[in-house]
Structure 1
């Protein structure tokens, strides 16, 4: 009998890692993500399985909480084949190299501090290095095209379908033979919100026996996207017209490209006041190039931009700042600037420098356009902190704070339920990738609306299919 054990994203949002073992003992890992927020110390723990015994790794998409521990997996013995889309592979390389770079910088900073105290031996080594990331991409990768059935062996086939979440994201249909009967299990990865800003809609899943589904926003409905875009535009216009600056902590992949697309449309329609727009994120800049490379996966509007102008996101007064020196020069722009920088949850990156220089100014605005996990600086600010500590200084928060949830790349409760309703043959629904209190609400909704028995997966729980 096939079994699934979840070693991450069980009653928490991050650290996605699910082990599917088939009747013939084939072992398949679905994602191997990093724990973030208050769970981040768990990344140093040894895996609860032997990576050397994993035959295949299937990747749903390239967000760090789904790929962030892959180099560690390889360091500890995995040498199998990796299956995903080519766009996911391209984004994963950017994100993992950036992750390794940040960990190295953090290590050196902590080491220097410990050295002054004579305790340099107390500083743990980085989880992995850039060399470890390079080893990741020396393994065999098999690129799957959406809706193409891929035969892995006589009893195992997979099909990746558009998840509508970020570029290259997929939910994975896994078909296998058990007791001479065909079975199907689907891992949703992260399901998109049908935003229509950059990506096409989520594809339909027509049938499955078992479903492992994310539940990040399973307890709520998002604000309508149209209203969220109008709210975003109004904050931009009012702040810039008041000679202030707008700070936008943004995830390098998808959210940044959506924001750039909205700003480009505002510029084209004459809705954007005179200002300078800075994308102060080398990783987001590189990710935008991947979007350009895979532009055929985007909605027609983005493809038209590329055909007409050779670029999807560029427009007048839009500036990429790659070097540290270029980033510092943004400080010289005292007013009428829009600054987009990572990290999206404010756990590091260049956004912290802009916080230090601008959060105290009442004319400025801070717009959160993405999920802020428990334990992150972003969640602290969203929860109403009046000051924060950055680089040894207390910074007062006087700028206006705006949380615009309609941009979420995750489906809300009604979208999730609507998607599940179309799946024929479901015997059981397993809830993963969500905070437990939200999963309880979502489970009740599933049981009530769909007459299916949903189960909230526990960490390390062995589930027999």
Structure 2
């Protein structure tokens, strides 16, 4: 039996997750994500698929984050006509995230075109449009956690809880041919144990081939108790002593809801009071509403906290900022506000405006709560840049910068090892993906040292035969 995996993205890098799987009777993708992080990423996003999109039978989508789903509109526009299988919560999130991504692509193209026209150059077409994104939605097929489907001849698949964001999944695929079977397991992005709202990642007993992420495969997140203390200190110091604003770049799905959860919990416990949180992201607001519609994804603590929130609606003021006029009005706030906006890596969206107006002020703070890919504005801030460019203007970094890894939705090294250690036997093939090259290589060595696994780090575009 021949099964080949080709990593079209997230191989020796973090973003652009997309794996082409080819068997004797099927050709399908696991994820179809966008590359993020600047000029080279734009080139990768624009390149053609190595096989005709029309020849792809189906897609299995692990979760809704754009680095795993953001090229689905381009795939459909270029000829893909098959189904896209995902969990119900992922389908709901994609219904708002992909059109939003298409809108952003159009706006970015308009801005680039205006710049080029002044130099007598040709217009820049968008990578895809909002209409292209809307065309994806009829192809979405919802699958409950744990239910087996048959997306193609000789193929069965199931989605297990990955504990990363609402609806995130570990995808298991069984390929049968001529009386033989191979089981493929794709971790997607695994969640940090104890993460708010979602459950911890489900165990998988066996695999002939395992693709495992390695975003934080070389580091340990701070414990949740220490993480909460650091978060409280950052918020309290900024709002009470220095009278500034707290700016939180946040992914609309996952981090935004976790921050709301944490602030609510701290208010319930009396650790913080009088907090006003501005969620300056229509997408995050909609994602929060979607979260409320999917209690089947909650852990028990979340159910209790949401019940308390319903009983004490005035304990924490949450302002949903819906339009650009309201967003611009926030620029005049000199202190006392928590401003949460996207994008999570500070590459686009309203967060750039808040950084422009607060980053240079020493009485303010920026709290980084998610992974920042190389080349992004967020990564430059985390790495200690003294000055950064925002909308073409050089801005001094005078605000306090807190990097709170314990709030990351990604598993750290110990989380990954704990999940891997629950396999009943070593997988026959182990491929380490979704990590910066040095991190993936180090984590592959860790799997060998700690578990005795023979893990390899695939190169982009390299076909690998599952033995």
Superposed pair shares fold, TM > 0.5:
yes
How do 1:329-368 and structure 2 match up within 5 A? 329-368=329-368
Q: CA deviation at 1:317?
A: 2.0
Moved more, 190-199 or 363-372: 190-199
2:69 pairs, out of 67, 70, 89, with 67
Distance apart, 1:124 and its partner CA: 2.4
Cα deviation, residue 101, structure 1: 0.9
Q: 1:308-387 maps to which residues of 2 (within 5 A)?
A: 310=310, 315-387=315-387
Q: Measure, in 1, the Cα distance between the counterparts of 2:459 and 2:428.
A: 19
Q: Deviations over 1:290-338 (max 9, x none)?
A: 1011122112233234456559998532211111111122223221111
Give yes or no for contact 1:302–1:312 (8 Å, CA) kept in 2.
no
Contact kept, 8 Å, 2:247 with 2:367, in 1: the verdict is yes
Following superposition, the deviation at residue 232 of structure 1 comes to 0.5
Q: Match for residue 284 of structure 2?
A: 284
Report the counterpart of residue 392 of structure 2 in structure 1. Answer: 392
- Greater Cα offset, 216-225 or 272-281: 272-281
Match of 1:253 in 2: 253
Cα deviation for residue 355 of structure 1 reads: 1.3
* Cα pair 1:260 1:313 within 8 Å, conserved: no
Q: 1-side partners of 2:106 and 2:304: how far apart?
A: 40
Q: Which residue of 2 aligns with 1:52?
A: 54
Q: 2:175 matched to which residue of 1?
A: 176
Change over 3 Å in CA distance of 1:311–1:154 after alignment to 2? farther
Which residue does the alignment assign to 2:274? 274
Bigger CA drift: 188-197 or 298-307?
298-307
Mapping for residues 431-450 of structure 1, pairs under 5 Å? 431-450=432-451
SS at match of 1:138: helix
C-alpha distance in 2 between matches for 1:313 and 1:437: 47
Report SS of the residue matched to 1:319.
strand
Name the SS for the 2:283 alignment partner. Answer: helix
Query: Mapping of 1:234-253 within 5 angstroms?
Result: 234-242=233-241, 243-253=243-253
Aligned twin of 2:97: 95
The worse-fitting range, judged by mean Cα deviation, of 259-268 and 271-280 is: 271-280
Give the stretch that moved more between structures: 351-360 or 166-175.
351-360
Distance in 2 between the 1:197 and 1:453 partners?
A: 33
Who is 2:11 aligned against? 10
Shift of residue 100, structure 1, vs aligned partner:
0.9
Structure 1 segments, 4+ long, off by >6 Å, are 311-314
C-alpha distance in structure 2 between counterparts of 1:379 and 1:133, whole Å: 28
Q: Is contact 2:91–2:141 with CA below 8 Å preserved after alignment? A: no
- Taking the aligned partners of 2:406 and 2:310, their CA distance within structure 1 comes to 29
How much has 1:92 moved relative to structure 2? 1.2
Distance in 1, matches of 2:78 and 2:443, equals 36
RMSD (Å), alpha carbons: 1.7
Distance 1:298 1:55 in 2: 33
Q: In structure 2, what is the Cα distance between the partners aligned to 1:404 and 1:294?
A: 27
| Deviates most, 408-417 or 429-438 | 408-417
- Paired position in structure 2 for 1:402: 402
Query: Please, what TM-score do these two structures have when normalized by structure 2?
Result: 0.95
* 1:204-223 alignment, distance < 5 Å: 204-223=203-222
Identify which of 104, 107, 110 aligns with 1:108: 110
Contact in 2 for aligned 1:196/1:299 (Cα 8 Å): no
Q: SS of the residue aligned with 1:362?
A: coil
User: What is the CA deviation profile of residues 172-203 of structure 1, one whole-angstrom value per residue up to 9, with x for unaligned ones?
Assistant: 11012133122201011101112331111111
State the alpha-carbon separation in 1 of the partners of residues 153 and 114 from structure 2. 55
Structure 2 gaps, min length 5 = none
8 A Cα contact 2:161 2:167, kept in partner: yes
Change over 3 Å in CA distance of 1:422–1:380 after alignment to 2:
same
Q: Give the Å deviation of 1:274.
A: 2.8
**C-alpha displacement at 1:445, in angstroms?**
0.8
Ranges in structure 1 where 5+ consecutive residues have no aligned partner:
none
Q: Deviation per CA, 1:115-150, whole angstroms, max 9, x where unpaired?
A: 23332x1x32101111111111122x3211111122
What TM-score do the two structures reach when normalised by structure 1? 0.95
**CA drift at 1:391:** 2.6
Deviation sequence 1:139-174 (CA, Å, 0-9, x none) = 2x3211111122335521111100000000001110
Separation in 2, partners of 1:401, 1:294: 34
Which whole-Å CA distance do the structure 1 matches of 2:411 and 2:57 have between them?
31
Partner of 1:225: 224
